[in-house]
Structure 1
């Protein structure tokens, strides 16, 4: 650091637009009451929205540091049109996350803060005259309903009408407190599991009412819609499948009943924009349990980014995943090694060591 540098802060964007570093500079390592210009108006674009990062020092006898992310305070943050997930973690002197310093506070009116004792920051995180906070911001917007209704072939249209009107149905399913009527032949044609269940030697083949365990009614409704329509384009279904966890549930159901087309739709959706710092562990576990190579590759690519990996390894979910699937640690290490080798080849000065847990 240059001698005599003034206090200040800067945002260092990452390769992933949802991640960035907030670097805080002090005029000297002993400066616990920095100048007023530390209230920096530092902006960064996240998910098409401008977010502002700043920090303040508070307290006198035992100073603390408050790090906050805020704005814009409109529907994108505080309303029902989007869900915002923000995480912050201090990095130690080697650039690794340190969870023992700092605690995240509850959000209020779009503010998300971390408070850390200055003595702990100074002892563990201060390098020369600065320290760094790794920040993750993810904005999950609900998809806008399409006003365009897809045209169905005559056969598909007729089947859909039969389903909607419950015309000539010969079997019903009880799922999560709701009842759904359907046609055995249609289900058997679209699902090998339903075929074995409804026309094979299983006890259900003689039943007119079947109870489905371990599934939500909304998930079964979406799967049934796909079986009859061949798509998830209906507005009502979009309302149900509006979040990534709901697509996860639907993928599990599709795999359970062998509805491969629906499983692929869910895997493509989750691989495309469902992977975040908060969701990558559950996504990777889902990919392993249900044999989803595209989703697994997308998760490994996400973890190959050093900042993403640092943020994820501080979670208990990561430890449990590695204990359940020890082979994944080998694959993650291999993917990170390849990413580092590629980065070094393109930019020899860009190589930084990433510690693996």
Structure 2
């Protein structure tokens, strides 16, 4: 009698979590330090992670007597609502990483802390880093710029344990379409149109550009457009490096990697190009990057750019940065503010009304 076939199966025990983060920017650090005593805090706006409400607590002169010479940061769990008699109280456990960010927006390893185990916020209510950084060290560091510094709270809320089937036999990798299109651009294979920009020639593919931009589509497939038939199109209002970055994004959907100073300048140029060619995603990518580069020297120019190209998020970020009279006075000394006053009187009036409300 033949042996019965051997049957097998596999499963996994999975601990689920919902993750999110909150970035807290301290604007007007010196003023906050002057206004608060040891043990007194300033709370952030409540934010949601994992279906629950949280708040960041900032102690400019330390959480307690052991941290009087330090900046302290805490995460507080806020009850969404009290359970009624028929409902059981929900246990909320989370793992937290609290990090001081450098000027590039990256965590500073020496000033970052992660919970060893999940914290039961249902009973402990809050958790934090009483000695995030010494006050003297912060004031001497490059992390404090224009009287501002930034902290990030990464929160992973535990959602219980479940069982499921083990890893599938076939694992589908993430899409690498962007890499293939990038190779197509760099190889120039099948290119059917050329652009002349700043003395440089850029071969490209009409179908790709038309799919990414309705303005390119209208221009490339209209026989009335100059260069559309011959395959050579002159671009006079853009530098070659900017057009190269624009093409790269159109093929790969990625912003080119570069240094922090170069990134800010490139993002401004690409935002203008994205607005011209009706590329909304690129415009938002540039807007998001520029929100992280606002400082005394650039705030006025950023605000003028936001007003000219209808960038609501960048405009609000500039207003928030200029929210104190001290910061505004410093920006008013720059040449960019003079240009803003001449070219964008409406946004200037709006700024003044926000900083000095009646």
Q: What TM-score, normalized to structure 2? A: 0.52
Contact 2:27 2:148 in 1 (8 A): no
Aligned counterpart, 1:257: 277
Aligned counterpart, 1:92: none
Distance in 1, Cα, partners of 2:174 & 2:245: 17
Give the superposed CA RMSD. 3.6
Alignment of 1:274-353 (within 5 A): 274-338=293-357
Q: CA deviation at 1:308?
A: 0.8
Distance in 2, Cα, partners of 1:295 & 1:223: 20
Distance in 1, Cα, partners of 2:330 & 2:350: 18
Change (3 A) 1:203 1:51: farther
Aligned counterpart, 2:246: 223
Distance in 1, Cα, partners of 2:182 & 2:148: 37
Q: Deviations over 1:115-142 (max 9, x none)?
A: xxxxxxxxxxxxxxxxxxxxx4689xxx
Task: Please tell me whether residue 162 in structure 1 is matched to residue 184 in structure 2.
Answer: yes
Q: CA deviation at 1:329?
A: 2.5
Distance in 1, Cα, partners of 2:263 & 2:197: 21
Alignment of 1:40-119 (within 5 A): none
> Which of the pair is proportionally richer in strand?
2
Aligned counterpart, 1:88: none
Distance in 1, Cα, partners of 2:265 & 2:136: 28
The secondary structure found in structure 2 opposite 1:285 is helix
Alignment of 1:235-274 (within 5 A): 237-239=256-258, 242-271=262-291, 273-274=292-293
> Which of the pair is proportionally richer in helix?
1
Distance in 1, Cα, partners of 2:275 & 2:322: 25
Contact 1:50 1:71 in 2 (8 A): no
Q: CA deviation at 1:152?
A: 6.2
Q: CA deviation at 1:294?
A: 0.7
Q: What TM-score, normalized to structure 1? A: 0.52
Contact 2:195 2:203 in 1 (8 A): yes
Q: CA deviation at 1:18?
A: 7.2
Q: CA deviation at 1:309?
A: 0.8
Task: Please tell me whether residue 214 in structure 1 is matched to residue 237 in structure 2.
Answer: yes
Q: CA deviation at 1:267?
A: 0.3
Task: Please tell me whether residue 173 in structure 1 is matched to residue 195 in structure 2.
Answer: yes
Segments of 4+ moved more than 3 angstroms = 17-21, 43-53, 136-139, 154-158
Distance in 2, Cα, partners of 1:225 & 1:19: 43
Structure 2, unmatched stretches of 5+, are 1-24, 35-69, 72-99, 109-132, 150-172
Distance in 1, Cα, partners of 2:317 & 2:327: 13
Alignment of 1:131-170 (within 5 A): 136=146, 153=175, 155-170=177-192
The secondary structure found in structure 2 opposite 1:173 is strand
Contact 1:301 1:335 in 2 (8 A): no
Structure 1, unmatched stretches of 5+, are 1-13, 24-42, 54-69, 78-83, 86-135, 140-150, 342-357
Distance in 2, Cα, partners of 1:323 & 1:296: 18
Distance in 1, Cα, partners of 2:341 & 2:286: 24
Contact 2:300 2:336 in 1 (8 A): yes
Distance in 1, Cα, partners of 2:181 & 2:347: 44
Distance in 2, Cα, partners of 1:19 & 1:299: 20
Q: CA deviation at 1:231?
A: 2.1
